[in-house]
């Protein structure tokens, strides 16, 4: 690598000696490579000869085939590839010498006319070459490419250069976010921004990152959810609000977990969780159709159909998928639930309330089966300190989670708006914290104060943008859909 870098440094000096600026400030192009192909890709050789078309393009050299006094360069500007033909008698002398000094990875500009080669490939006959930037480090070898996933994630800039399919993933991610915004804006929602630094880590049951503000000499947390500030805005009269933002949780890393991830949260006054089930179906159908062109996708070898959504209660899902026979009524019995967990060798906290054990049992027996879009509703109250109680069964709350491809993609509640009930839930969470639960919710006096001014009936939902992108791009790891996932130090 050091020897190659030395040679390329010498080549840059040669380019300078020819009179070229090593790092020019700009290059005015008329077309991207993709625009050239889109606009003129259907033209025949005869049409291009009869009506010459001049273009100026810029990009990175990805291929080079020299033939003495001529040669071909393949460039890309991040999307489409395009071929350039450099010929000694068609270029000024110093620009042909520039061509001879170029390496793979270098950035160039080219002006010329379009023609087709004998093999029919659309090509630019170079009349002018400009030097834009030097690549001192060689790109990965053509046939083997960049395949080591650790290096790919750590050096995403190289990954994007040499693996076009990676760029396609992030183009789709951008389309997903754009279409979500369009849907919510059309529905009368107001996009807002709320603080990333919190004095209390709230809105979810998760372990936060801690930091410290020096000037104020106070501890702070990176937010673990967007929820509590958005609901304060509902109190303030912004009846439909949403935020797309980064969330931070100081927890483990897996194929579906990264310490920082992107969440959409939206809140709608005068609604309940059933309204959001209907809305979520409509939103996802629109996004999937826009991004993939069909309501059917393939994820991890399985076909998923977004034209059909299933709805199951949490207890109903356990009954359906548990390998041991059990009834919904038996799932109210702590001894029965604990016995099932032991028989299935599932992890659980023996000191936790029965509702938490039901949640652990669901994770153990049902989640992996939920490949087709499935709403799991009516969760135990212990799992949901911010949800409204279900009137017909006070042991449950009006909450749903949406599972697709065997993973949770969305989470929603009929929001608890009774400040007295909310204080009691926070107090029970404090008891859980005393039992050693690091993810238990802290007391938030200001949030209770906000509820005390009166919050209308409200439904709220969070959708994981990274997991939704995994589904729509058939990506097996959350790291494949985050441009710069957290990595261990190389030291």
- The pLDDT assigned to 143 comes to 45
Per-residue pLDDT of 349-397, as tens digits, reads: 888 899 999 999 999 999 999 999 999 999 999 888 788 999 999 999 9
Which one has a higher pLDDT value, 251 or 461?
Answer: 461
Angstrom distance (rounded) from CA 68 to CA 54: 25
Tell how far CA 50 is from the center of its chain.
47
Residue among 142, 215, 205 nearest 438 (CA): 205
Tokens 């960049």 appear where? 146
Contact in structure between 481 and 169 (CB atoms under 8 Å): yes
Q: How confident is the model at residue 431 (pLDDT cuts 50, 70, 90)?
A: confident
Angstrom distance (rounded) from CA 103 to CA 135: 7
β-pairing verdict for 81-87 and 197-198: unpaired
Per-residue pLDDT of 438-448, as tens digits, reads: 777 788 899 99
Per-residue pLDDT of 96-105, as tens digits, reads: 999 999 999 9
State yes or no: pLDDT of 13 exceeds 90: yes
Average per-residue pLDDT in the chain?
Answer: 93
Q: How confident is the model at residue 489 (pLDDT cuts 50, 70, 90)?
A: confident
Q: How confident is the model at residue 152 (pLDDT cuts 50, 70, 90)?
A: confident
Q: Please, which residues have CB within 8 angstroms of residue 181's CB and are 6 or more apart in sequence? A: 191, 244
Q: How confident is the model at residue 426 (pLDDT cuts 50, 70, 90)?
A: confident
Angstrom distance (rounded) from CA 133 to CA 135: 7
Mean pLDDT, rounded, for 66-83:
92
Q: Rounded to two decimals, what is the model's pTM?
A: 0.90
Per-residue pLDDT of 222-250, as tens digits, reads: 999 999 999 999 999 999 999 999 999 99
Mean pLDDT, rounded, for 297-318:
97
Share of the chain above pLDDT 90, in %: 82
Mean pLDDT, rounded, for 107-125:
97
What is the enclosing helix (H) or strand (E) of 489?
Answer: none
- The pLDDT assigned to 131 comes to 98
Q: How confident is the model at residue 430 (pLDDT cuts 50, 70, 90)?
A: confident
- The pLDDT assigned to 142 comes to 54
Q: How confident is the model at residue 1 (pLDDT cuts 50, 70, 90)?
A: low
Angstrom distance (rounded) from CA 127 to CA 87: 9
- The pLDDT assigned to 147 comes to 66
Q: How confident is the model at residue 144 (pLDDT cuts 50, 70, 90)?
A: low
State yes or no: pLDDT of 145 exceeds 60: no
State yes or no: pLDDT of 81 exceeds 80: yes
State yes or no: pLDDT of 264 exceeds 90: yes
- The pLDDT assigned to 148 comes to 77
Task: Please state whether 68 falls in left (phi above 0), alpha (psi between -120 and 50) or beta.
Answer: left
State yes or no: pLDDT of 29 exceeds 50: yes
Angstrom distance (rounded) from CA 379 to CA 389: 10
Mean pLDDT, rounded, for 261-282:
97
DSSP designation for 481:
G
Domains and their CATH numbers in the chain: 2-139 (2.40.50.140), 162-322+366-481 (3.30.930.10)
Mean pLDDT, rounded, for 472-481:
96
State yes or no: pLDDT of 194 exceeds 80: yes
Least confident of 41-55, 130-144, 392-406, 418-432: 130-144
């Amino acid at each position: 690598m050091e020897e190659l870098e030395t040679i390329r440094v010498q080549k840059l000096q040669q380019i300078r000696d020819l009179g070229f600026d090593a790092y020019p400030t700009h290059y005015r192009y008329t077309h991207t490579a993709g625009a050239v192909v889109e606009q003129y890709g259907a033209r025949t050789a005869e049409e291009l000869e009869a009506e010459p078309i001049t273009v100026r393009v810029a990009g990175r050299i990805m291929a080079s085939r020299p033939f003495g006094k001529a040669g071909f360069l393949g460039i890309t500007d991040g999307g489409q590839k395009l071929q350039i033909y450099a010929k000694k008698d068609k270029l000024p002398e110093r620009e042909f010498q520039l061509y001879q000094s170029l390496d793979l990875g270098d950035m160039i500009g080219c002006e010329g006319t379009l023609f087709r080669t004998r093999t029919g490939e659309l090509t630019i006959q170079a009349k002018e070459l400009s030097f834009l930037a030097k690549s001192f480090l060689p790109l990965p070898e053509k046939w083997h490419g960049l395949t080591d996933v650790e290096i790919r994630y750590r050096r995403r800039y190289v990954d994007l250069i040499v693996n076009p399919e990676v760029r396609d993933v992030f183009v789709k991610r951008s389309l997903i976010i754009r279409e979500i915004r369009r849907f919510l804006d059309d529905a009368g929602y107001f996009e807002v921004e709320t603080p990333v630094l919190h004095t209390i880590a709230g809105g979810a049951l998760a372990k936060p990152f801690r930091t410290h503000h020096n000037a104020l000499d106070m501890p702070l947390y990176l937010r673990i959810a967007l929820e509590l500030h958005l609901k304060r805005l509902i109190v303030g009269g912004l009846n439909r609000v949403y935020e797309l933002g980064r969330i931070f949780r100081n927890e483990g890393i897996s194929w579906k977990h990264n310490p920082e991830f992107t969440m959409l949260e939206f809140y709608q006054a005068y609604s309940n969780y059933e309204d959001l089930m209907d809305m979520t179906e409509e939103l996802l159908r629109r996004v999937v159709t826009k991004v993939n062109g069909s309501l059917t996708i393939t994820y991890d070898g399985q076909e998923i159909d977004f034209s059909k959504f299933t709805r199951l209660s949490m207890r109903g899902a356990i009954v359906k998928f548990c390998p041991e026979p059990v009834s919904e009524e038996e799932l109210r019995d702590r001894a029965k639930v604990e016995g099932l967990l032991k028989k299935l060798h599932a992890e659980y906290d023996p000191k936790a309330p029965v509702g938490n054990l039901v949640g652990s049992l669901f994770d153990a027996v049902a989640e992996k089966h939920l490949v087709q879009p499935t709403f799991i509703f009516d969760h135990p109250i212990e799992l949901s300190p911010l949800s409204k109680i279900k009137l017909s069964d006070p042991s449950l709350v009006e909450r749903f989670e949406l599972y697709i491809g065997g993973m949770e993609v969305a989470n929603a509640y009929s929001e608890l708006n009774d400040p007295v009930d909310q204080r009691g839930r926070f107090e029970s969470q404090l008891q859980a914290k005393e039992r050693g639960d690091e993810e238990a919710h802290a007391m938030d006096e200001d949030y209770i104060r906000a509820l005390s001014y009166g919050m209308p009936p409200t439904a709220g939902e969070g959708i994981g943008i990274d997991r939704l992108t995994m589904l729509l791009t058939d990506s097996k790891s959350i790291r494949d859909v985050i441009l710069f996932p957290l990595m261990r130090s190389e030291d």
